[in-house]
Amino acid sequence: MNARVFIVDDHELVRYALRTVLEAESGITVVGEAACGDDALDLFEDANPDIVLLDLRMPGMPGIDVCRRLLEMDPTLKVIVLTSYDEDEEIFGVLSAGAVGYLMKDASPLALIESVRNVADGQTVLDGSIARRVIAASSLLEADDPGLSDREMDVLAVMARGASNKEIAHSLWISEPTVKTHVSHILRKLGQSDRTHAIVEAMRRGIVRPPEKP
């Protein structure tokens, strides 16, 4: 794995700290950084990152809009929000915009590195406190049963822990193609287009519990 990371944060010290932590790890390369959304959009194509670490509150363009614009430029991009803020509007807004991760800035360096590696491997990353807030922010849980089978519930439970298809297959003693089929059914029944939003929706409905914070 060689994850190419682009950092977007308006604080120079934060960018320096992130770059220092990430560049000390094998398989992770910081390919660029920007202090605001407009600069990020200008520099993005030349940097050609796999992952963007994105602050939400910066001068100029809001982080949610930056996320949406970046994904329009490259739908395969993976955006991890790294912020000090956990307001409902921002959480739901940036996840709806297509982010695959939401971390708080008090995360440990190890947690940050693991999150980047997990996202690079196709997994999703939601800080435990954010997952709990997603549920708490929903004043009314959906009463309708999405109609998940027992096996689909098993797959969803493991998937909610951030497991890849291979890890789900190993955990449940089923094949990867079977896992892929179950995941497809789960997305359809929950009315979502990707794993991140399916997990958030399942947590919001109370179908699965948020991961415990380490």
Same domain membership, residue 161 and residue 102: no
Structure confidence at residue 199 (pLDDT): 81
Same domain membership, residue 71 and residue 23: yes
Structure confidence at residue 121 (pLDDT): 84
Give the domain CATH number at 171: 1.10.10.10
Predicted confidence (pLDDT) per residue in 130-163, tens digit: 766 655 554 444 445 678 888 888 888 888 877 7
Contact status, residue 141 vs residue 183, Cβ threshold 8 Å: no
Structure confidence at residue 213 (pLDDT): 45
Tell the residue number behind the tokens 């991890």, with chain if given. Answer: 80
| d(C-alpha 18, C-alpha 111), whole Å | 12
Q: Looking at the 3D structure of the chain, how many domains does it have?
A: 2
Predicted confidence (pLDDT) per residue in 7-22, tens digit: 999 999 999 999 999 9
Structure confidence at residue 144 (pLDDT): 53
Q: Is 136 contained in some domain?
A: no
Domain boundary among 96, 126, 156: 126
Structure confidence at residue 141 (pLDDT): 44
| d(C-alpha 138, C-alpha 136), whole Å | 5
Nearest CA to 111 out of 7, 16, 21, 200 is that of 21
Structure confidence at residue 156 (pLDDT): 87
Same domain membership, residue 15 and residue 114: yes
Same domain membership, residue 108 and residue 14: yes
Query: For the chain, which ranges sit under pLDDT 70?
Result: 1, 88, 129, 131-145, 209-214
Nearest CA to 177 out of 149, 155, 192, 195 is that of 155
